[in-house]
Structure 1
């Protein structure tokens, strides 16, 4: 009776039979059992939401690849060993962040200066500032301008502002290239 070496029987085998499949690992062929799931691999919890986000991010990346203007913007952001599609998916998936919101009001000159620090993994394209009173009625609204030297800093200036509201809100909204937004609020007064 001859003793058979099981490694010789599997050498070069590929495919699957019933609940088993073969795989190559470190130059050897292994016979493995297929994984089982009681619920048929249905998505659970936040997986459904994440899948929808990735579908939208991939659709955005395809749109970037077909649009020469957007493609040029993302090609300018390329680093070593990166692809435009990967950067576009990451940019669409991650919204920008507002790290700081600061207000400076000078009653003598009646000048209001709001500075915002907004960052994104690619680029923040605009920051919108809104000044509201306690009943959320808009008193002042406009676009902030990018600081000439610090590209993460945005400045909103308004002249002839008599006073900040006693209990109002300053809201800053930062937008990135795909249109994701981040919001920060600052309460004014007491």
Structure 2
């Protein structure tokens, strides 16, 4: 690859020259590349969907940059030595929903004060974990937020449930961009 140093003609130049070449600036260097060809086919529905999702991700990242509290949280995860900015971390987080790895019902016997343990993870952070307990016929018994213990999320049961057979326990985890993950267990 040819390299030109201290070239007063191209130094700092950026933009398109005709339909032939494009000058761009990155890391204090001037790059020259072939001009892109105009698109001749319409995007497929999947491409349109992906573009829309990416637009939403960039809007989310911009909102993070404008929110001092969120900006500080995301900046703490940005590895600038690898070119990862706060903005990049926010965009990546938008694309990744949390994952509920396990729901531990060993301590749930249907009594008030029993604990349901949930292991939920995310590439950035899990913001909330909600638990809903329904009877076999779908009637809501209780629902509420689990608390973060630092390692796992803990939900303390608030209502005694004498008939556990067929009960459905649904756990929903959400992250800062409001991505959701949901898992259900039936007793």
TM-score range, shorter chain: 0.7 to 0.9
Largest Rg, 1 or 2? 1
**Secondary structure of the equivalent of 1:125?**
strand
CA distance in 2, matches of 1:108, 1:175: 26
- TM superposition shift of 1:186: 0.5
Q: Is the 8 A contact 2:134 2:140 kept in 1?
A: yes
Partners of 2:71 and 2:43 lie apart in 1 by 33
Judged with a 3 Å threshold, the aligned counterparts in structure 2 of structure 1 residues 180 and 169 are, in CA distance, closer, same or farther, namely same
Q: Can you list the C-alpha shifts for 1:43-93, whole angstroms capped at 9, x where unaligned? A: 114111111110100001111111112111111222243101100111112
Cα deviation digits, residues 98-148 of structure 1 (max 9, x gap): 111121246596653211111111000110000011232210111111124
- Structure 2, unmatched stretches of 5+, are 1-15, 23-31
- Change in CA separation of 1:87 and 1:159 when aligned onto 2, cut-off 3 Å: same
TM-score (norm: length of structure 2): 0.73
C-alpha separation in 1, matches of 2:143 and 2:110: 22
- Can you give the 5+ residue segments of structure 1 that lack an aligned partner in the other structure? 1-13, 24-28
Q: TM-score, length-normalised on structure 1? A: 0.72
- Kept in 2, the 8 Å contact 1:105–1:111? The answer is no
1:138 aligns with one of 120, 140, 148: 140
